[in-house]
Amino acid sequence: MRDPYEVLGVERSASLDDIRTTYRKLAKKLHPDLNPGNKKAEEQFKEVSSAYDLLSDPEKRARFDRGEIDATGAERPRQRFYRDFADTDHAYADASGFEDFAAGDDIIAEILRRQAQARANAPGADLHFRLAVDFLDAVNGATLRLTVPNSETLEVKIPPGVEDGQVLRLRGKGAPGRGTGKPGDALVEIAVNPHRFFTREGDDIHLELPITLTEAVLGGEVPVPTPTGTVMMRVPKNSNAGATLRLRGKGVHRASGGHGDELVRLKVMLPPGPDPELETFVSGWVTGRAHDPRRGMQP
Amino acid sequence: MTTISRHEFLLRARLDQATLEAWVTEEWLIPGGSAGAPAFTDADLARAALIHDLKHDLAVNDAGIGVILGLIDQVHGLRRTLADLLREARERGRAPE
């Protein structure tokens, strides 16, 4: 980093007005957008700008003069220059400057015709959207409406089994093209909301199902929610807490056909509050006292 | 090119609503989208930075800014045509007559 006084070519005693005038003179000469194609101008402009940033701020200038900060203390981050977009098709592109050359049937006329055609029929841009989808809509599929910035409404068909983060492409629903140019696509990123009790792993649905002590010990038919509605499931006699039962085909639709499974993990729930009858039974229950479920857990 | 909403554009270009409206009225900026929901691009953002530089760093007055932007756009167009022309000439293996 060179000395900022040297960069601007001013005396150390120069007034703020002198510095400003000098900077403007240099900036008019060096601004990259006034020098498209001149790579050196950008380097020089950056140097001049950061020297000016430092010297135009009385506080920073004083600190620099006292040697408290170095010349890099004030470099401002700069976004891209307008000239970086000179080759892109934006609303300001203007190719009228060669029009008077285009009269004949020569190479320039041909190139201008091709350019004009490309511009006139430029395809539309792709537009990006995000759509929050309920868990069950993601599993079962749905048709949702998405309001897009130009106040139109897009109908989005959610295929069954869509995953969080998946991007759906709606052909032709992006920005309109010019002339005969095709419209762009709408790219919709899916964000799946979590469910109160279902979770998903791959094609399988996981569910923790509370059952009573009676159901765990004696077994029985219990209602189980699945993404497509409630089904009855047989809990075998003497089912333990944590045991996992599989409901085949009740999981997520697979793109390759078929469905995943729903895995139901049992969770034994005692009734709320102490129950004297249960306490009496358990106190006198010999097998219960002898059973050590932690045997084999010694580290 | 991805689009930028008005809110994000104001933040990133460090502009206030009134200034943006004035610049759009002057046609220094021409956003896409609709009037109610304009859509900006990175090119608009870079153009806004250029307008800011012209106005504040180079002390160009408002009448001058429109002229400069128009000329810069023409220079970009010319450079692009010239690049196409040179490419064509190279492909044909000879310099243009």
Question: A203-250 pLDDT, tens per residue?
Answer: 999 999 999 999 999 999 999 999 999 999 999 999 999 999 999 999
CA torsion through residues B45, B49, B51, B55, sign:
positive
Residue A8 half-sphere exposure toward CB, CA atoms < 13 A: 28
Q: Which residues of B13-32 are buried (b: 16+ CB within 10 A; e: fewer)?
A: bebeeebbeebeeeebbebb
Residue of A nearest to B30 (CA): A91
Q: What is the ipTM of this complex?
A: 0.79
In chain B, the largest separation of any two C-alpha atoms, in whole Å, equals: 54
In a domain, A267, yes or no: yes
Does A23 sit within 8 Å of B33, measured CB to CB? Answer: no
Q: Which pLDDT score is estimated for B1?
A: 57
Element (H, E) at B71: helix B62-91
In a domain, B96, yes or no: no
- Please give the residue that has the higher pLDDT: either B85 or A196: A196
In a domain, B68, yes or no: yes
In a domain, A110, yes or no: no
In a domain, B1, yes or no: no
pTM: 0.52
Count of C-beta atoms within a 10 Å radius of residue B78: 16
The enclosing domain of A242 has a CATH number of: 2.60.260.20
Q: Does A28 touch chain B (CB under 8 A)?
A: yes
Q: What is the pLDDT of residues B52-61, one digit of tens each?
A: 999 988 889 9
The enclosing domain of A32 has a CATH number of: 1.10.287.110
Q: Which pLDDT score is estimated for A254?
A: 87
In a domain, A225, yes or no: yes
Distance from CA of B80 to the nearest CA of A (A): 7
Residue of B nearest to A149 (CA): B37
Does B33 sit within 8 Å of A150, measured CB to CB? Answer: yes
Q: Which pLDDT score is estimated for A193?
A: 93
Q: Which pLDDT score is estimated for A75?
A: 45
Does B80 sit within 8 Å of A86, measured CB to CB? Answer: yes
Cα-atom radius of gyration of chain B, to the nearest Å? 17
Give the domain-ending residue among A35, A63, A85.
A85
DSSP 8-state secondary structure symbol assigned to residue B52 = H
Which domain range does residue A11 map to? 4-85
Which domain range does residue B22 map to? 6-91
Do residues A78 and A25 share a domain? yes
Mutate: best of A8, A38, A92, partner B, most B CBs <10 A? A92
In a domain, A296, yes or no: no
**Number of domains into which chain B is organized:** 1
Give the domain-ending residue among A140, A175, A192.
A192
Residues of chain A under the 70 pLDDT cut: 1, 71-79, 98-99, 101-105, 149-151
Give the domain-ending residue among A172, A192, A212.
A192
**Number of domains into which chain A is organized:** 3
Do residues A14 and A55 share a domain? yes
Q: Which residue has the tokens 């009037």?
A: B35
Do residues A67 and A9 share a domain? yes
Q: Does A149 touch chain B (CB under 8 A)?
A: yes
- The pLDDT of residue B4 is above 70: yes
In chain A, the largest separation of any two C-alpha atoms, in whole Å, equals: 110
In a domain, B62, yes or no: yes
The enclosing domain of B69 has a CATH number of: 1.10.1660.10
Does A31 sit within 8 Å of B53, measured CB to CB? Answer: yes
DSSP 8-state secondary structure symbol assigned to residue A254 = P
Do residues A184 and A202 share a domain? no
In a domain, A295, yes or no: no
In a domain, A102, yes or no: no
In a domain, B97, yes or no: no
In a domain, A111, yes or no: no
- Please give the residue that has the higher pLDDT: either A288 or B97: A288
In a domain, A214, yes or no: yes
Q: Which pLDDT score is estimated for A177?
A: 77
Does B43 sit within 8 Å of A85, measured CB to CB? Answer: yes
- The pLDDT of residue B97 is above 60: no
